[in-house]
Amino acid sequence: MNKTIHSLEFGKLIINDKQSKNDIELKANQKANADESALGFRLVLMPQQFLHLLLMAYNQNISHYSIDWLNPLPNEEFCIHIGGDQQWFSTYEENEQRWPIDKNKHMSSPVAYSTNDHFHNPIGGIIEYLFLGSHGFAIFIERSAPLFIRRDTISENQLLCFSGDYSKFPFDHAPHKNQIKIVIHLMASNDTKSVYRYAANNWIQKPTGIPDERMSTWAKYHADITQQKVLDFAQEIKSHGFSNSQIEIDDKWEAKYGDFSFDTKKFPNPREMVTKLKDNGYRVTLWVYPFINADCDVFNKESQYLIKTQNNSIAVKDWWNGKGGHIDFTNKKAQQWFISRLQHIRDTTGIDSFKFDAGELGWISADFKFNDPVIDETPVTLTQLYAETAAQLGNMIETRVGCKTQHLPIFVRMLDKLSIWDYNGGLKTLIPTALMMSIGGYSFVLPDMIGGNAYGNFPSKELYIRWLQLYIRWLQVNTLMPTIQFSITPWDFKESSQEVIDISKSMLKLHEQFTPLIIELAKNSVKTGEPIMRPIWWIAPNDPKAFLIDDQFLVGNDLLVAPVTTDKARKRDIYLPSGEWKDQRGVVHTGPQTLTDFKADLNELPYFARNN
């Protein structure tokens, strides 16, 4: 597709390949200069006659420009040059999450920038609209546009491109299709942390409180769950000497999806079950979702609360547990109906709270029509309304979606991780995903369950040793994140269960040791918006090496964590930024430096406390 390129380069605004009369200074990292290749920053702006540039702010530290891009044509794009030595960071979830973004990932066609299931789509269930560059740049795009993104790694320049299109799902039902306005904010500062703080202060909401902790049943039982198995699981946890914090009853506790009542064949007396669990010190939560399956009585009886098609029939859509309708959270009455059903379960059984699954826009029918037509303009608002509805039930809530919902005092969970090592949704994506979420404003990161979801069969005997190490390393990656979820239990490893139990207990003890720090940082996040988990460049914003690290993270500013994420490894290289750092053995190291082949046995989690 032919495109006429108009680019905003360092220090110049160029339109129609001619320098404009008023040059624009973008104040950047002092190490940067006017050499475009060294800076690695380019913007491609398309419709010259409809480009409005407005100076929003300029002071000693920040330059902020706002561009109104009016009625772009389908073949017109706004692009960031992501090549060169500048690194870029996104705030949207991917299956193959990288930190910084993968410059070699190609997306040949524009993809709707909306929440989705990242197993089948390039974008996952958590999206924000902020993009950061390591040379002190930031880009924020307002949500009011029908936004699409594309990543071009085949052309001469590596590009991350944006466009607007009302002709494609999910924006094709908007009432004002001929009035596209994309508002783009360009910011520059001396370093990435400064420009991030400026952007976050303008567009990233602070949480209004802090949530709670949890333990889950999902990967162990999948849908094969019964009242007796839940009680047995609780007893197993206690008998093996683990703390009894929270039990989560997951998939298939109903006879039909959408009943929102216990299957009495599998759960003959749910209130008695919950009472027994609470008597043993557990809190109890329940898995729920926004679907009503077509074979459920409620599907027809309460159809007024479901999303409709353009012809006003129920908008039926396949999901992973069948076919049904999606509750229309743009309808306040539907929100109240949904909450009342959950409150009824809580009142009649004693359940403490809920885990909310799905919520991505990709799970609705392409022929949708919302109760509130205004939201057809920005349909991803459905995700926001789902999370906000869920949060009405308290701070023991977990969702797996986020879009402008950083203010909610709830846990936001990563979408299911696979029980593998690599970047294809495996262990190596845990830290990049957590850092993406943190920078996007979601401080209360809930990593997926220890060891992954074990989809398919539990590991064969041949894979047992590798799985054992994966399980332990996965636990170690989670240990100093805000919370831990178990499901595949340490005693499931029959041949080496005691070793796994002992290491798991030591990691939980370490988590408890640092829990006061995590809680302090959670409270600070409410006050300042600063994340609990932070990238290494947070304390080294002018250190180029810090921007390339995707397997280490900070808890606050003074605790650096460097888990092992490579199969069979018993040592790893660790980068320490400037300062004095005491490792878990008491040895002090002076940064900046790379510790080569730092010892990390299976029972060790490398971490370093900064001496102040």
Q: Are residues 504 and 541 in the same domain?
A: no
CATH of the domain at 511: 3.20.20.80
Domain count, the chain: 3
The verdict on 149 and 228 lying in the same domain is: no
pLDDT at 553 (0 to 100): 94
**pLDDT value for 513:** 87
List all residues 6 or more positions away from 424 whose beta carbon is below 8 Å from its beta carbon.
Answer: 95, 96, 418
Q: In what order do the strands lie in the sheet with 571-583?
A: 533-534, 553-555, 559-561, 607-611, 571-583, 588-599
Q: What are the residue ranges in the chain where pLDDT is below 70?
A: 1-60, 155-157, 213-222, 244, 453-472, 474-475, 477, 480, 495-496
Q: Which residues contact 72 (CB under 8 A, 6 or more apart)?
A: 46, 47, 50, 78, 163, 164, 180, 182
412 part of a folded domain: yes
Count of beta carbons in the 10 Å neighbourhood of residue 61: 16
Residues 85 and 126 in one domain: yes
- Whether 37 and 43 have beta carbons less than 8 Å apart is answered as no
Largest CA distance in the chain: 78
Residue where a domain terminates, one of 171, 203, 235: 203
Domain that holds residue 588: 537-611
Please tell me whether residues 511 and 569 are part of one structural domain: no
Tens of pLDDT, residue by residue over 34-51, are 233 323 333 444 434 344
Nearest CA to 415 out of 454, 375, 446 is that of 446
Q: Is residue 247 part of a domain?
A: yes
Mention every residue, 6+ apart, whose C-beta is less than 8 A from residue 473: 427, 563, 564, 565, 602
- Predicted TM-score of the model (pTM): 0.90
At residue 20, the pLDDT reads 34
Question: What is the H or E stretch that residue 322 is in?
Answer: strand 322-326
All residues at 6 or more sequence positions from 186 whose CB lies less than 8 Å from its CB, including other chains: 8, 26, 43, 64, 65, 66, 67, 137, 138, 139
Name, in order, each residue with C-beta under 8 angstroms of 516's C-beta and a sequence gap of 6 or more. Answer: none
Question: Are 402 and 285 in a shared domain?
Answer: yes
* 566 inside domain: yes
Closest C-alpha to 391, from 325, 312, 447, 335: 335
Q: How far apart are CA 296 and CA 316, in angstroms?
A: 13
CA dist list (Å): 361 to 115, 141, 376: 5, 19, 12
The pair of three-digit structure tokens given for residue 144, joined into one six-digit string: 């009011």
Question: Cα–Cα distances in Å, from 494 out to 347, 420, 465?
Answer: 39, 20, 12
Using an 8 Å Cβ cutoff, are 215 and 252 in contact?
no
pLDDT at residue 485, rounded to an integer: 78
Please tell me whether residues 251 and 267 are part of one structural domain.
yes
Same domain, yes or no, for 338 and 473? yes
Beta bridge partners of residue 132, listed in sequence order? 89, 138
**Nearest C-alpha neighbor of 411 from the set 593, 309, 285:** 285
CA 433 vs CA 103, 332, 430, 449: distances in Å? 17, 32, 5, 14
Question: Does one domain contain both 547 and 579?
Answer: yes
Predicted confidence at residue 527, as pLDDT, reads 95
Q: What is the C-alpha separation between 224 and 293, in angstroms, rounded?
A: 19
The answer to whether the beta carbons of residues 119 and 23 sit under 8 Å apart is no
Q: 483 and 406 share a domain?
A: yes
Rounded alpha-carbon distances, angstroms, from residue 471 to 330, 450, 500? 41, 7, 9
The CA distance from 606 to 479, in Å, is 11
442 with 501, same domain: the answer is: yes
